[in-house]
């Protein structure tokens, strides 16, 4: 009953204690009742502590690889789930950082397979809408000189590598969405998220932005695993959250890219972060074989849904540096 006439929607955010999920919960709870579901394997309760006292926010510690029966949670009675049902589901439940999917390869595969299936049965039960938060990893490696990925691109994936396991897990989850759509004609969408950064990223996440900020704040030589001229796409978290909500609220059902299409070299990011962290340290690059990062072609999402990123890189990085500076010493490792 996605169009039910209730004062507020009931919304499930699976993986809601993670980096992106917590920001999504924070925005959704302004207008909806939010049920945050997370097993806290890679999510962090600290990300949602400030939301726990809000009456319209409930946290369920649950692994969605196991079926989720909302009738078993008496704390949800105030949301009238038995009567109102669930209107929207966002699925972000998966290890997503290189550290996490390397450490939890089985959990990565199982959460994207069984977890996605279990949420899809909730979509079927409640006639809810769903956004599957996928990844640019599904595209694999770029074949051509043009680094921009359109939604119809399909590249090479080494399914036996740690990143390949993550990519294949995300591909399989998308296939489940497609199969359920063909079978039941439910309202389901796919958002393929590219590199995103912002507050609540883990301090030692082995991603470009937190690695650079950590070394800058620690005042030591900034060592970068990429070459100075390698190209990245960096999108600030609030833009991604805005995109996910716009996708949910729009009738367009095709997969769309979410990311910042502006090319950023590793040198540009490193020098800006060195400046923002007031570091005078040297920057050492790894000038081996170039790392080819795909960039998002956002033509489709801009034309169909009207989304495009608004936050400039310097503004977003300043907010992220300020957060990590304030939280240094208490951030989860």
Distance CA 27, CA 22 (A): 9
Asked if 168 contacts 139 with a C-beta cutoff of 8 angstroms, the reply is no
Catalytic residue among 166, 197, 232, 236: 166
Is 166 one of the annotated active-site residues of the chain?
yes
Q: Tokens at residue 267, please?
A: 């040198």
Half-sphere exposure at residue 278, Cβ-oriented, CA atoms within 13 angstroms: 2
Q: Encoding tokens for residue 238?
A: 């609030």
Do the Cβ atoms of 136 and 259 come closer than 8 Å? yes
CA distances from 208 to 8, 72, 139, 198, 221 (A): 39, 41, 20, 12, 15
- Count CB neighbours of 333 within 10 A: 7
Neighbours of 230 (CB within 10 A): 21
Q: Which residues are catalytic?
A: 166
């Amino acid at each position: 009953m996605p169009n039910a006439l209730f004062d507020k929607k009931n919304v499930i955010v699976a993986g809601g204690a993670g980096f992106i999920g917590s920001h999504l919960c924070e925005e959704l709870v302004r207008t909806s009742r939010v049920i945050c579901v997370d097993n806290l394997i890679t999510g962090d309760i600290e990300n949602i502590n400030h939301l726990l006292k809000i009456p319209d926010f409930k946290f369920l510690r649950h692994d969605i690889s196991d079926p989720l029966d909302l009738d078993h949670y008496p704390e949800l009675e105030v949301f009238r789930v038995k009567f109102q049902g669930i209107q929207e589901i966002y699925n972000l439940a998966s290890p997503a950082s290189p550290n996490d999917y390397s450490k939890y390869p089985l959990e990565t595969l199982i959460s994207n397979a069984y977890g996605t299936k279990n949420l899809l049965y909730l979509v079927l039960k409640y006639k809810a809408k769903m956004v599957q938060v996928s990844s640019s990893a599904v595209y694999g490696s770029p074949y051509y000189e043009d680094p921009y990925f359109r939604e119809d691109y399909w590249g090479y994936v080494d399914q036996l590598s740690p990143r390949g396991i993550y990519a294949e897990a995300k591909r399989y989850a998308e296939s489940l969405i497609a199969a359920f759509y063909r079978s039941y004609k439910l309202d389901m969408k796919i958002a393929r998220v590219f590199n995103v950064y912002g507050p609540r990223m883990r301090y030692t996440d082995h991603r470009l932005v937190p690695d650079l900020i950590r070394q800058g704040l620690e005042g030591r030589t900034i060592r970068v695993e990429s070459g100075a001229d390698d190209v990245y796409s960096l999108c600030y978290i609030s833009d991604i959250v805005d995109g996910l909500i716009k996708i949910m609220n729009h009738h367009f059902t095709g997969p769309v890219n979410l990311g910042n299409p502006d090319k950023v070299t590793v040198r540009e990011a490193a020098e800006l972060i060195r400046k923002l962290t007031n570091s005078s340290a040297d920057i050492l690059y790894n000038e081996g074989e170039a790392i080819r990062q795909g960039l998002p072609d956002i033509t489709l999402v801009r034309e169909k849904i009207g989304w495009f990123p608004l936050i400039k890189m310097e503004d977003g990085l300043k907010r992220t540096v300020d957060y990590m500076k304030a939280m240094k010493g208490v951030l989860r490792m």
